[in-house]
Structure 1
Amino acid sequence: MAKQEAAVIVSGAARQYQATWVKKVFRQKYLFLMISPAVLLTVLFHYVPLFGWLIAFKNYQVGINLWKAPWIGLQQFKMFFMESTDYIYLIRNTLVMNLSVIILNLTVALVFAILLNEVRQKWFKKIIQTVSFFPYFVSWVIVYAIIHALLGSSTGAINVSLIKLGILEQGINVLGDKAYSWLLVIFVQGWKYLGYNAVIYIAAITSISADQYEAADMDGAGRFQKIWHITVPNLIPTFIILLILNIGWVLNSDFDLFYLFTNPTNWETMEVLDMYIYKFGLKLGNFSYATAVGIIKTIVSLIVVIGANQLSKKMTGKSLL
């Protein structure tokens, strides 16, 4: 008898919860309709293509029905890790450049946003913000043309000027020398995304309560003390969230950037996983191998995001999930 009563109570609670949930959904039906196109596009372009991962486990060739292609299992994965040493320099290049870009970009953008916020002349602040944001809208083709015009070994304006001044005997091949590849990528991406990343911090600064600054003024705090004890601590949560979001892209690279800046003389330090996948997939037609490398990249990125989120949660109490 008691069991039957308990079952009735549980069943009634379940029906009540379901009715409540349906009512909440119905009340917010217009919001769900608004986000439905974004959800549909996400499913269509991000989840449906995951069925293509099947190519990595089959010996697929163009023109062959995917379902009829012979099954080869983990052969492509073994080839990448055991029969080739490419993964050593690929992972090295990808991690060094992308981690450096993520950390430095977020840090420099934070400092830039704080300094910009301290500018008292509004017209001057708007000019600086516009100038810093403008490179974000410039395509990588134009960026490469600008860098080549400035740093080309024989015709670059900077090299030509330094040679005429007697500082250099011959131009420095910044675009071709592998010794400068990492610094070049970090600098170019930092310049391009500085204004874009700073916007998020500027928005976070505007949300800081003015009461905190007024209390600091009453306590006699100076300008630097207010920055250090109020602005920076309030921006740390934003920094952590952005770091977790960006760390998931640590194995993803700006393909246009590396496609343009990679050449036969610097490929050893410039070739990253995305370029490697492009080379074997589209240029050499080895789609199964390229897909396998893409799967490895995706899985590692997912593990890195989850790990970074858990580490942040344990150390700072701030997390995304």
Structure 2
Amino acid sequence: MEALTESNVPANESVNSSTPRKKKSNGLWKSFAEQKYLYLMSIPFVIWVFIFSYLPLWGWTMAFQNYKPSKSFGEQKWVGFDNFTRLFHDERFYLVLRNTLVMSGLGLVFGFIVPIVFAVMLNELRGNTFKRTVQTVSYLPHFVSWVVVAGIVSKMFSIDGGIVNQLLMWTHIIDTPIQFMAQGKYFWGIVTASDLWKETGWNAIIYLAAITGIDKELYEASRVDGAGRFKQMFHITLPGIRSTVMVLLIMSIGHLIGIGFEKQFQLSNNLVTDYSEVLDIYALKYGIQIGHFSYGTAISMFTSVVSIILLLSANGLMKKFTKESIM
């Protein structure tokens, strides 16, 4: 009897241990059956992401080759990490990296804080008509091409009738017009200000949506307790959108080094190249214009890898200290 009892224990334990797995598997299939149409609707987007985001990663192999377009993949000469060694020994690379980090840092600070402040202030407006008008006008610049924005900005800062120079001279801040677009020391500020004007209203939309999800009874209870509008903003509105703010901050940090090139390319000229050239323009210059495809691929690969590291690091730190994450 003792031997029989002892032999039954492992069997019972194995049955009990397999039960949660069966329940979990059944729950998964049940969830799939209940939401099958949502899964089917997501298939085209999964295919799109695979084709345009993952399939092109095969091109990273060019970074380890002396790529020649006239040769097949098997005929390419493999050079290992020579392109990366050349990249890290190029003084121009560190100048471009400085420009990228400074402009992305300015964009992260101002481009992240200003939309939050704008959304909170816009939420405090009482007139619905005026509120909707301001919101509509604020996000319209988002749909304007950077080509058009660059033309407007260049005209505004022009020494020949530019409104900025005229305003500074009218207020006696300066005596003669300043060539803002021809001096590198002004370029970073001009790019940051232009990006704020173009994207603040659009970026504020998601914060306004998060604010509408806050329970209105919290505001009513705070008014009963004597809290003013500023206390409501700091103790209800801002804590209420904290999760949204943290998620967007993590994603913004992930794009810290991959900031694109449109605004820098459109606003730049030969006089400010040392301040306007960023990593994406640097890769475009060597990869397309000069025809060093392998070197350009190495630059883009460096940008992507660093962006992934920044994203994972930011997500890990936020998860550790604020319990908020995107993964």
Judged with a 3 Å threshold, the aligned counterparts in structure 2 of structure 1 residues 17 and 124 are, in CA distance, closer, same or farther, namely: closer
Partner of 1:267: 273
Partner of 1:192: 198
Partner of 2:225: 219
- 1:317 paired with 2:284, answer no
The one-letter code of the counterpart of 2:229 is: R
Partner of 1:35: 42
Q: 2:118 aligns with which of 112, 125, 130?
A: 112
Cα displacement string for residues 254-297 of structure 1 (whole angstroms, at most 9, x for unaligned residues): 32212111211111111100000000011000010010111111
1:11 offset after TM fit, Å? 6.0
Report SS of the residue matched to 2:66: coil
Maintained 8 Å contact 1:140/1:257: yes
Cα displacement string for residues 100-159 of structure 1 (whole angstroms, at most 9, x for unaligned residues): 112211211111111111111111111111111110000001101111121123353433
1:99 offset after TM fit, Å? 1.9
1:15 offset after TM fit, Å? 5.3
Maintained 8 Å contact 1:154/1:160: no
Partner of 1:247: 253
**Counterpart mapping for 1:1-150 below 5 A:** 14=21, 17-81=24-88, 83-150=89-156
> Which whole-Å CA distance do the structure 2 matches of 1:169 and 1:217 have between them?
52
> Which whole-Å CA distance do the structure 2 matches of 1:3 and 1:78 have between them?
59
User: What stretches of structure 1 of length at least 5 have no aligned partner?
Assistant: none
Judged with a 3 Å threshold, the aligned counterparts in structure 2 of structure 1 residues 164 and 243 are, in CA distance, closer, same or farther, namely: closer
Partner of 1:204: 210
TM-score where L is the length of structure 1: 0.93
1:161 offset after TM fit, Å? 6.3
- 1:154 paired with 2:160, answer yes
Judged with a 3 Å threshold, the aligned counterparts in structure 2 of structure 1 residues 161 and 275 are, in CA distance, closer, same or farther, namely: same
Identity of aligned residues (%): 37
Maintained 8 Å contact 2:65/2:76: yes
Cα displacement string for residues 5-29 of structure 1 (whole angstroms, at most 9, x for unaligned residues): 7666666765554444333223321
> Which whole-Å CA distance do the structure 2 matches of 1:172 and 1:254 have between them?
28
Please say which of residues 132-141 and 311-320 is displaced more in the overlay: 311-320
1:189 offset after TM fit, Å? 0.6
Please say which of residues 6-15 and 45-54 is displaced more in the overlay: 6-15
> Which whole-Å CA distance do the structure 1 matches of 2:239 and 2:18 have between them?
49
Judged with a 3 Å threshold, the aligned counterparts in structure 2 of structure 1 residues 172 and 23 are, in CA distance, closer, same or farther, namely: same
Maintained 8 Å contact 2:63/2:83: yes
RMSD of aligned C-alpha atoms? 2.1
Larger Rg: 2
- Paired residues in the alignment total 320
> Which whole-Å CA distance do the structure 1 matches of 2:319 and 2:27 have between them?
32
Report SS of the residue matched to 1:224: helix
- 1:235 paired with 2:241, answer yes
Judged with a 3 Å threshold, the aligned counterparts in structure 2 of structure 1 residues 212 and 153 are, in CA distance, closer, same or farther, namely: same
TM-score where L is the length of structure 2: 0.91
Cα displacement string for residues 179-219 of structure 1 (whole angstroms, at most 9, x for unaligned residues): 10110111011111100111111111111111111111111
